[in-house]
Structure 1
Amino acid sequence: MKTILITGCGRRLGFGLVQNYLSKGDTVFAVTRTINDGLAQLRQQYPDKLKVIECGEYNAAGGMKTIESIADADIDIVINNASLYEDDERQLGAIADKFQRFFEVHMLFPTVINEWFGQKYALSSEVGAKNVINITDIFADNPSQASSHYCSTKAGLESLTKSLAKKYAPQLRVNSVQPGPVKFLPSHSEASIKKVLSETLLASEGGFECLIDTIEFIVNNHYLTGVSIKVDGGRSINRG
């Protein structure tokens, strides 16, 4: 059995990851801004296995609050899944504030968690037994014009993945997963969905299972570090 720290657990992939690991008997520290009904129900169902951490915000203070909550825990896997996706702010006076939010969620918060994790196990005699997996985006490599600020901070997390893989080897393995169109939001229009699927070689929505399978592959393959794996149905090589 493993102990996993997952951020961004209130919905979508993060919630699915929590369910996946709990169903296998693992212990999960689920980080969320505030607990919702879904997590509350899971905590009632798995009182000894699920620990919910309400960090408030994904910023430096939230990172330190998370670390304080897990200081004595023996964590095996950190999955940095928390994300904020919005198009670029057009008002010049508001750009800095919005970009700061992207930076905090995608780079600052994961850095605080990953550095704590790396330093904690830096002297471990176990080679590659501890894993960090950062969830980024295929847009990190081929950014969208409409969401360039989001994309740039996801690209920053990609760079951090490689830097920390070097910094904390061989004790930690640090990799990333770059999702493509795995699960559309209710807000996506039929036209936008049709356009995305037309740019995707497999021409279908992937579902969260394909990401969970990829994370499991990374954890189980002892010889992977500093690697980014695209899970996008081929969109990244077919999109203009």
Structure 2
Amino acid sequence: MNENNVALVTGSATGVGRACALRLAEEGFDIVVNYSRSQAEAEETKALVEAEGASVLLIQCDVSDDAAVKKMVTEIESEWGRLDVLINNAGTTEFIEHKDLDALSEEIWDRIIGVNLKGPFFCIRAAAHLLRESEFGAVVNVSSTAGITGQGSSVAYCASKGGLNTMTKSLARALAPEIRVNSVCPGPIDSRWLKQVMTDDELSERTADFPIPRPAQPDDIADTVLYLALGTTLSTGQLLVVDGGRTM
């Protein structure tokens, strides 16, 4: 049994996932760094987390694959014998104009729903027995304001995050009182995702009329994830919006 608390951060090779892994390492957690394809970046995250003094388990796993998720959790249990915090951060999307219904193929639907909605469920289900044994078992799902407003990169993405938001509430009830389940819902994040489709100037322009007129940085979201995971013992089933007041 590992004496340190242990956190699994899915999709922690880059961006918000990496920021969360580093912040949890600073809090004394040992970290499971999970990635699907970005091995080089995941190795970078591993090195950064180890520089904080944490032990790291690096596991490649596509969270949309239920068998692979179960294998990942078995590996964590074999290695460290515990899991205290699960951050469901892995996600995917396609940038498709909402009016272009024909561009949203069944293959794209299945991939987005598989990673963004089924994936968090598979991870929670596989990890629940370990989280229940923790003194403060907590799940934080990294969702999106797209799941609240219906505005986002694609219709399928918005639907997947809307589903994640309602699943957060369902599982908060089902897993209480031993495990708390919450979601953070960011607005636009200054990250690799958005840089695929817009420049820095375009991102600044998009957020210029927000009450706090800037996009989120990964650390802004990590702040909220850490709060929901460690900073509260009574909050569960909550969707905490972090978007500079955009959806207010």
TM-score (normalised: structure 1): 0.86
State the 1:148 CA deviation.
1.2
Deviates most, 205-214 or 8-17: 205-214
Tell me the alpha carbon deviations over residues 120-166 of structure 1, each in whole angstroms, 9 at most, x when there is no partner.
Answer: 455x595xx10000000011110127611100011111111000000
The reply on whether 1:95 has 2:105 as its aligned counterpart is yes
Matched residue type, 1:50? V
Residues 22-62 of structure 1, C-alpha deviations (whole Å, 9 max, x = no match):
33432001110145334324545629611111014633243
Matched, 1:81 2:84: no
Separation in 2 of the partners of 1:211 and 1:221?
16
Q: What is the deviation of 1:116?
A: 2.2
User: Is the 1:181–1:206 Cα contact (8 Å) retained in structure 2?
Assistant: yes
**1:111 equivalent among 114, 117, 121:** 121
SS of the residue aligned with 2:247?
A: helix
8 Å Cα contact 1:197/1:203 also seen in 2: yes
1:196 aligns to 2:206 (yes or no):
yes
Q: Is the contact between residue 138 and residue 178 of structure 1 (CA under 8 Å) also seen in structure 2?
A: yes
Find the residue that maps to 2:227 and give its secondary structure.
helix
Q: Is the 8 A contact 1:162 1:174 kept in 2?
A: yes
Two-structure CA RMSD over aligned residues (Å): 2.5
1:49-198 aligned within 5 A? 49-56=55-62, 58-72=64-78, 73-88=81-96, 90=100, 92=102, 95-122=105-132, 124=133, 126=135, 129-144=136-151, 147-184=154-191, 185-187=194-196, 188-189=198-199, 192-198=202-208
Pairs within 5 Å for 1:1-40: 1-34=4-37, 36-40=39-43
Q: Which residue does 1:229 correspond to in 2? A: 240
CA contact (8 A) 1:35 1:52 kept: no
Alpha carbons of structure 1 residues 67 and 162: separation in structure 2 relative to 1, 3 Å? same
Percent identity between matched residues is 24
* Bigger Cα displacement from structure 2, 108-117 vs 28-37: 28-37
Q: Which whole-Å CA distance do the structure 2 matches of 1:226 and 1:206 have between them?
A: 23
Give the number of aligned pairs.
Answer: 234
With structure 2 as the length reference, what TM-score do the two structures score? 0.84
**2:59 is aligned with what amino acid?**
I
Question: In the superposition, relative to structure 1, how do residues 52 and 145 fare at CA in structure 2: closer, same or farther (>3 Å)?
Answer: closer
- Paired amino acid for 1:136: S
Distance in 2 separating the partners of 1:125 and 1:21? 16
| Counterpart amino acid of residue 141 in structure 1 | I
The 8 Å contact of residues 25 and 49 in structure 1, kept in 2 or not, is answered as: no
Relative distance call for 1:91 and 1:147 in structure 2 (3 A) is closer
Structure 1, unmatched stretches of 5+, are none
Q: Which amino acid aligns with 1:168?
A: L
